[in-house]
């Protein structure tokens, strides 16, 4: 839209607003641009001066080009400008951590929109069909990062800055002279804002140049949808120097005084609904279907917009002119044909966990050239090898297995091996007894009983420690005091036959110790159960922040004392009939301190670990069993006491003690009372009507 006098508002942080179409029709918009603009202008008036000068020159060029038919450039076959792109996914492991496929879909939509290959192009009203442009601009995901290493153009970063995002959330920027940086986040600071981009030469500092956009406005699949999928096209338009059709501000529907300095876009007040017969500034029909509108029915760019964007790509302003050069296409790896540089794969189950006898389907995700042959290795699987591109493998034996893949295309090959990738759980419970107990006094975790799953490599981990047990000598610790927010770490139990638990109301109890580092720390511990070998999980309890903390706020590395342990319980009554139940402790880091777990018990009797339990101090040590392994306990008053041993399936083995004892401390040497073959046993102490259980490992 061109007026006799150039009129625009400098939009250094062009914040663009989208909602659902219904919201748009209700005109529910809010914008934080003015504050950003005033802040930048007040701090950097030299940017405004440069922009004004450049814009005046571009406006004059546009007017001349319009009068001569844009020098026929819109109708001739021009060089296709290819722009390397990197998507930085800033996330905390939630839905904002969108899939590779969703990113690929977004790139597809951008290319269709800029090449006039979008399926909606045919819907453009007849008055604008003749000026609807193939912009001859394309986008390709980078295949080499700034160091020259292989990449798929998707950079995943765990950070709380995905929330209320702004320029500070633009982590790990790649050089703007080589890449179009797109940062994908969960929420943006200004209410209602879907994304924003900088016009060429207006970003300060240069490391924030690019696009910030919400994760659910990427592509048409996953968390995206077709209605929102063109928002990224809109933002790229800003990156390539396009303003909104009504001018350089974020307020459509105000008046006709603005201009986008493009001569073939009719004057308009701008639209937040799809009124294809609208004419807000006279008799001329508004270009409501323009990608730079808010109408939610976009189909086109105009010839004038095409010329303006291509002029931006030929200008040194914002270093846009270096993006499409042949040397840069080579440096960023987007020159064709693509190089096969990394092997990768995934299974159809995100946890890579199955019951024995079940199958997994594996899919090749190798970068970047398309392989023509595959060589898979599946130890423990049937078949144990495959040359299919997407093999289906059955796992019949419980265990943890490695998967390896070598891909090839011509002379190019790439290989990857993922250790402990597949977990096959037993469909039959490992433990079937009137009780279950785990004090972590045995083998270090992970072990045959307990699985450890750290969802972010290099992040936190669960480990067995001997520095702070609630009872006995050992417990497990989640190292967390200096970790990044958003890390997720899981500790998964063996399968337990809950139907064998004595009583009709099984209850899980465990002891936990944790401290917040600050009052704002919001670490989270969640307890889940699974009845299908860990394929799906049901949440049973959540402890967060101060609710989780047992020791208040401690800014230094936390090690609990005896008074900083607390007991938690989880009602499992609804699972009383389950013959194979798994328990999962899931920890999500958010600014807190270390976390410790100990004394996990499942019993049919409520109140198993109440005040009496603390006073009795029932322990088995050392464990695994040695010649001097002792069973110890305290009595606060005279009680009838029975100490028995059971095997792992709950069969009675031996009674070590049964008599009435006075108050005091007692110790009994297990090896003096019985000889046990290698295996797992339960030592059960019954005091009056209370029963306590400890697991005993015999090697």
Q: Catalytic residue positions? A: 235
Q: CA-CA distance, 479 to 107, in Å (whole number)? A: 39
Residue 627 to residues 72, 511, 630: CA-CA distances in angstroms? 95, 29, 9
Provide the 3-class DSSP secondary structure of residue 657: strand
Is residue 105 within 8 A of residue 202, CB to CB? The reply is: no
Helices 303-313, 45-67: axis angle to 10 degrees equals 130
Is residue 220 within 8 A of residue 226, CB to CB? The reply is: yes
Phi, psi of 87, rounded to the nearest 5 degrees: -100, 120
Max Cα separation, the chain? 109
Give the CA radius of gyration of the chain.
Answer: 32
Which tokens go with 137? Answer: 């601009």
Q: CA-CA distance, 35 to 621, in Å (whole number)? A: 66
Q: CA-CA distance, 377 to 243, in Å (whole number)? A: 54
Q: Which residues pair with 510 in a beta bridge?
A: 568
**SS3 per residue for 479-513:** CCCCCCCCCEEEEECCCECHHHCCCCCCEEEEEEE
Residues 6+ apart with CB under 8 A from 122: none
Provide the 3-class DSSP secondary structure of residue 698: strand
Give the N- to C-terminal CA distance of the chain in Å, as an integer. 83
Phi, psi of 295, rounded to the nearest 5 degrees: -75, -20
Q: Which sign does the torsion angle of CA 659, 665, 669, 670 carry? A: positive
H or E stretch covering 186 = none
Angle at CA of residue 118, ends 112 and 119, nearest 5° = 150
Q: CA-CA distance, 519 to 59, in Å (whole number)? A: 55
Helices 33-43, 45-67: axis angle to 10 degrees equals 110
Q: CA-CA distance, 343 to 351, in Å (whole number)? A: 20
Which tokens go with 301? Answer: 């760019």
Peptide bond into 337 cis (omega under 30): yes
Is residue 182 within 8 A of residue 169, CB to CB? The reply is: no
Q: Which residues pair with 466 in a beta bridge?
A: none
Nearest residue to 366 via CA among 407, 332, 334: 407
Q: Count CB neighbours of 476 within 10 A.
A: 22
DSSP H helices in 10-72 = 21-25, 33-43, 45-67
Nearest residue to 180 via CA among 245, 107, 253, 113: 107
Is residue 199 within 8 A of residue 241, CB to CB? The reply is: yes
Q: Which sign does the torsion angle of CA 537, 347, 341, 415 carry? A: positive
Is residue 320 within 8 A of residue 240, CB to CB? The reply is: yes
Q: How many residues in total does the chain contain?
A: 699
Pairing, β 81-91 against β 137-141:
parallel
Is residue 52 within 8 A of residue 10, CB to CB? The reply is: yes
Pairing, β 154-158 against β 81-91:
parallel
**Tokens 């100990």 sit on residue:** 598
């Amino acid at each position: 839209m061109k007026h006799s006098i150039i009129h625009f508002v400098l939009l250094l942080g062009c914040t663009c607003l989208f909602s659902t179409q219904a919201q748009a029709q209700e005109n529910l918009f809010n914008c934080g641009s003015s504050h950003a603009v005033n802040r930048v202008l007040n701090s950097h008036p030299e940017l405004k001066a440069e922009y004004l000068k450049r814009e005046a020159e571009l406006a004059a060029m546009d007017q001349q080009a319009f009068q001569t038919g844009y020098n026929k450039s819109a109708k001739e076959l021009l060089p296709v400008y290819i722009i390397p792109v990197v998507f930085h996914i800033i996330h905390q492991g939630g839905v904002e951590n969108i899939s590779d496929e969703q990113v690929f879909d977004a790139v597809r939509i951008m290319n269709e929109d800029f090449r006039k290959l979008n399926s909606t192009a045919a819907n453009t009203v007849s008055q604008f069909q003749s000026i609807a442009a193939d912009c001859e601009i394309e986008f390709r995901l980078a295949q080499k990062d700034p160091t020259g290493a292989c990449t798929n153009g998707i950079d995943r970063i765990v950070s709380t800055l995905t929330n209320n995002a702004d320029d500070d959330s633009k982590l790990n920027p790649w050089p703007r002279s080589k890449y179009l940086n797109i940062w994908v986040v969960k929420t943006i600071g200004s209410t209602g804002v879907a994304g924003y981009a900088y016009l060429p030469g207006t970003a300060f500092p240069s490391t924030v140049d690019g696009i910030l956009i919400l994760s659910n406005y990427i592509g048409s699949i996953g968390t995206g949808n077709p209605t929102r999928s063109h928002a990224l096209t809109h933002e790229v338009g800003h990156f390539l120097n396009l303003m909104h059709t009504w001018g350089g501000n974020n307020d459509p529907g105000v008046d006709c005084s603005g201009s986008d300095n493009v001569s073939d876009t009719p004057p308009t007040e701008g639209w937040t609904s799809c009124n294809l017969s609208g004419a807000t500034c006279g008799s001329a029909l508004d270009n409501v279907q323009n990608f730079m509108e808010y109408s939610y029915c976009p189909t086109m760019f105009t010839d004038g917009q095409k010329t303006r964007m291509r002029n931006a790509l030929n200008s040194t302003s914002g270093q846009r002119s270096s993006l499409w050069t042949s040397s840069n296409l080579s440096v960023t790896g987007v020159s064709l044909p693509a190089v096969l540089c990394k092997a990768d794969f995934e299974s159809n189950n995100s946890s890579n966990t199955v019951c024995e006898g079940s199958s997994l389907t594996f899919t090749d995700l190798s970068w970047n050239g398309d392989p023509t042959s595959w060589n898979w290795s599946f130890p423990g699987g049937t078949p144990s090898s495959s040359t299919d591109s997407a093999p289906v493998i059955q796992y019949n034996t419980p265990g943890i297995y490695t998967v390896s893949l070598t891909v090839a295309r011509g002379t190019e090959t790439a290989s990857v091996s993922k250790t402990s990738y597949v977990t096959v759980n037993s469909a039959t419970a490992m433990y079937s007894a009137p009780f279950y107990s785990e004090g972590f006094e045995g083998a270090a975790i992970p072990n045959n009983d307990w699985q450890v799953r750290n969802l972010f490599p290099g992040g936190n981990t669960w480990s067995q420690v001997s520095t702070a047990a609630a009872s006995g000598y050992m417990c497990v610790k989640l190292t967390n005091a200096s970790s990044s927010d958003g890390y997720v770490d899981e500790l998964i139990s063996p399968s337990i036959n809950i139907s064998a638990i004595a009583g009709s109301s099984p209850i899980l109890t465990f002891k936990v110790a944790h401290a917040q580092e600050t009052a704002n720390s919001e670490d989270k511990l969640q307890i889940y159960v699974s009845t299908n070998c860990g394929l799906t999980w049901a949440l049973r309890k959540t402890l967060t922040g101060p609710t989780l903390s047992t020791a208040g706020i401690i800014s230094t590395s936390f090690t609990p004392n005896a008074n900083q342990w607390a007991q938690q319980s989880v009602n499992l009554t609804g699972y009383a009939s389950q013959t194979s139940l798994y328990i999962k402790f899931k920890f999500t880091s958010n600014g807190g301190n270390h976390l410790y777990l100990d004394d996990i018990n499942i019993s049919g009797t409520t109140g198993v670990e109440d005040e009496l339990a603390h006073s009795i101090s029932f322990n088995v040590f050392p464990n695994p069993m040695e010649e001097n392994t002792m069973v110890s306990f305290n009595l606060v008053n005279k009680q009838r006491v029975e100490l028995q041993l059971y095997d792992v399936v709950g069969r009675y083995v031996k009674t070590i003690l049964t008599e009435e004892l006075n108050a005091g401390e007692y110790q009994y040497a297990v090896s003096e009372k019985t000889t046990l073959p290698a295996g797992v046993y339960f030592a059960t102490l019954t005091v009056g009507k209370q029963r306590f259980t400890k697991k005993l490992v015999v090697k």
